[in-house]
Structure 1
Amino acid sequence: MKVLVTGAGGFIGRALCRALLSNGDEVLGLVHLRPCNIPGLQPIQMALENIALQPNILDGVECVVHLAGRAHQLADTAADPLAKFRAVNCEATLGVARQAAAMGVKRFIFISSIGVNGNNNARPFTASDQPNPAEPYALSKWEAEQGLWKIQQETGMELVIIRPPLVYGSNAPGNFGSLSRWICKGVPLPLGAIHNKRSLVGIDNLVDLFIRCIGHPAAANQVFLAGDGEDLSTTELLRGVGKAMGKPARLVPVPAGLLQFGATLLGKQAMAQRLLGSLQVDISKTCELLDWKPPYTVEEGLRRCFERSN
């Protein structure tokens, strides 16, 4: 199968391109700022908005996996963050989808975010829940989803939306990467008494799910939540990271309430929510409809993560 992956130079894109190539697929990788020198990959250096100017790159493409976008920013300095997110995550996404449909692409797979469902929950999120995006990044993803459904209805191009929670893996960006580096350095962290529950998805499990969605007939026109099928507290996750690294996780048992109070004083409520709050996802629809289950446990995923980075 001929597949175009946008954002091929990113954390998820590189892993997906390697897996597709190992399966024998013909893979085109759209990259903009990050180089992507993967043997066998056909790289295309182009900004998303320029696809309409060179539609021939979509000749013969059966599936587009759209990973490119403006990532969530922990400390966003943009004067209007929502406008920045909308321009890339919504408007550029819809431009790519319209061009794909016009060129006869059969299926368009879009990576969204569990943030479309919300930031926290009393019960696990499901794919059928009413969306409740609370931040500019998640709102831009939700608006893109709505626009993509309109294109699907107008053109008949199959649409698959995947909403992952935090994705971990070798050289992962964001909180996971930062916390892993601190553990590696032996830095004490005040996260030894956190009793939340959070769903995660390892990069290998997420890539496996993408590949299943590329070819499975039942994936057409569905929204799927991604996850490892195991929920951990922040404390349990960090202990697992330390074990996978072969290093002690130096976790100081500071009460979560005290950490939350300090984060509020410092204006770090969003970071505190990700570290202290709960966010669980129900992947039963994903597993049942696609006859799929995550191939790796969290323990195996973490071990593979740090085996690769050593």
Structure 2
Amino acid sequence: MKIKITGSSGFVGKNLSDYLTNYSFLVDKISLRNLNWKNDFTADAIIHLAGKAHDTKGTSDALEYFKVNTDLTEELFNAFLKSDIQDFIYFSSVKAVADDVSEILYEDVKPNPKTPYGKSKLKAEDYILSKQLPEGKRVFIIRPCMIHGPGNKGNLNLLFNVVKKGIPYPLASFHNERSFLGIDNLNYLIKEIINNKEIPSGVYNFADDDFLSTNDIVSIISFVLNKKNKSIAIPKNIIKSIGKLGDFIKLPLNSETIQKLTENYRVSNKKIKSAIGIEKLPHTPEKGLEKTIKSFIEK
């Protein structure tokens, strides 16, 4: 089975390409920067990973998100509709619908993205969903939460360095619950979608089975590093005051950092598991994070 993949040079693209190749799929890596990408547009499925990632520093031009995440996706999808390719798998993001999640995020949530990144992803989703699919074709809009895996530190880098340096984690008085997605579970889900033609088109959240708190993550990092967990539970009102001071004198521990480390962001994966017909994903979030953290040490 031949699979076309855009964005194959990125973290997810590299891992997914290797994984599918190991399962005897023929992976064709294409670049949308190459003006000739339409010349050989034949495959069984196309996985669209290419895009402009979320800029947490907020320095990117908003229009650039729409040029890359929206316009290129529309062009690729139009080519798919005219082709003989059966499956189109588009990697969107949970940020396309929600920057904050007070309860649990399901696929039917009313979208309310607040960033150019999220808005550009949602606009691409809307375009895809607005088109009539020819018979025999399937379309999947994937909304992954925070993806991690060996070699990809991402937002885990801050906590990893805190524990590695022996600095006490000061926010243990806050208990939150967050969803993560290990790269091994992501690869497994994509393989199942491609292989199982009974899975219907639609929007699907991708997340590990269980939620983890930031305190859980600190514990996992401490365990992997074989270091004592030095977390301390400073009262919340004191932490919030420190955060306001950090806003004023530009400290690393400011209100935004505290918010990111202590907020809830829970994502349901029940829809995709039901479609596949499984109760549990093959890899637990704890084991996935352990594997990721171990890779930081080995580098």
> Does the alignment reach a TM-score above 0.5?
yes
Higher mean alpha-carbon deviation, 297-306 vs 141-150, is at 297-306
2:230 counterpart of 1:244: no
**Cα distance, 1:19 vs structure 2:** 0.8
Aligned residue runs from structure 1 range 263-274, under 5 A: 263=243, 265=247, 271-274=257-260
> The residue matched to 2:147 in structure 1 has which SS?
strand
- Computing the radius of gyration from Cα coordinates, the structure with the larger value is 2
Task: Calculate the TM-score normalised by the size of structure 2.
Answer: 0.87
**1:56 pairs with 2:39:** yes
For the 8 Å contact 1:85–1:137, the answer to whether it is kept is: yes
Q: Distance in 2 between matches of 1:68 and 1:166?
A: 16
Instruction: Name which of structure 1's ranges 181-190 and 275-284 shifts more when overlaid on structure 2.
Output: 181-190
Change (3 A) 1:190 1:64: same
- 2:265 maps to what in 1? 279
What is the Cα deviation at residue 168 of structure 1?
A: 1.8
Instruction: In structure 1, give the amino acid aligned to 2:57.
Output: A
Task: Identify which of 261, 283, 296 aligns with 1:296.
Answer: 283
Distance 2:162 2:40 in 1: 43
State yes or no: 1:68 paired with 2:68.
no
Pair 245,58 (structure 1): closer, same or farther in 2 beyond 3 Å: farther
Secondary structure of 1:174's match? coil
CA positional deviation for 1:259: 4.4
1:158 to 1:185, Cα distance in 2 relative to 1, 3 A: same
Of the three residues 202, 206, 214, the one matched with 1:222 is: 202
Q: 1:34 maps to which residue?
A: none
Equivalence for 1:28: 28
Q: For 1:11-26, list aligned pairs within 5 A.
A: 11-26=11-26
2:90 matches 1:83:
no
Aligned partner of 2:113 in structure 1 is 133
Question: Of 151, 162, 177, which residue of structure 2 is paired with 1:171?
Answer: 151
Q: 1:257 to 1:85 in 2, by over 3 A?
A: farther
Aligned with 1:190: secondary structure? Answer: coil
Residue matched to 1:35: none
**Stretch moving more, 260-269 or 289-298:** 260-269
| Offset, 1:262 | 4.9
Matched, 1:143 2:130: no
Which of these residues, 183, 196, 209, is aligned with residue 203 of structure 1? 183
**Structure 1 residues 259 and 5, CA, compared in 2 at 3 Å: closer, same or farther?**
farther
Deviation, structure 1 residue 139: 1.1
Deviation at 1:256, TM superposition (A): 4.6
Give the distance between the partners of 1:219 and 1:145, measured in 2 at CA.
19
For residues 64 and 279 of structure 1, what CA distance do their matches in structure 2 show?
29
- Measured in 2, the distance between the counterparts of 1:154 and 1:227 equals 27
- Residue pair 1:117, 1:125 contacting (<8 A) in 2 also: no
Q: Which deviates more, 283-292 or 256-265? A: 256-265
**Conserved 8 A contact 1:171-1:177:** no
**Partner AA of 1:234 in structure 2:** T
Whole-angstrom CA distance in 2 between matches of 1:170 and 1:215: 26
Secondary structure of 2:104's counterpart equals coil
Contact 2:88 2:140 survives alignment (8 Å): yes
Distance change in 2, residues 1:258/1:291 (3 Å):
farther
Q: What SS does structure 1 have at the residue aligned with 2:13?
A: helix
Deviation at 1:239? 1.3
CA contact (8 A) 2:99 2:113 kept: yes
Q: Secondary structure of the residue that 2:88 maps to in structure 1?
A: strand
**Structure 1 spans left out of the alignment, 5+ residues:** 31-45
Residue type of the alignment partner of 1:294? L
Distance verdict in 2 for CA 1:54–1:168, change over 3 Å: closer
In structure 2, the residue matched to 1:305 is 292
CA distance 1:109–1:257, shift in 2 (3 Å): farther
Alignment partners' CA distance in 1, 2:94 and 2:237: 25
How many residues align structurally?
Answer: 289
In percent, how many aligned pairs have the same letter? 27
Change beyond 3 A, Cα 1:222–1:271: farther
Q: Measure, in 2, the Cα distance between the counterparts of 1:119 and 1:261.
A: 24
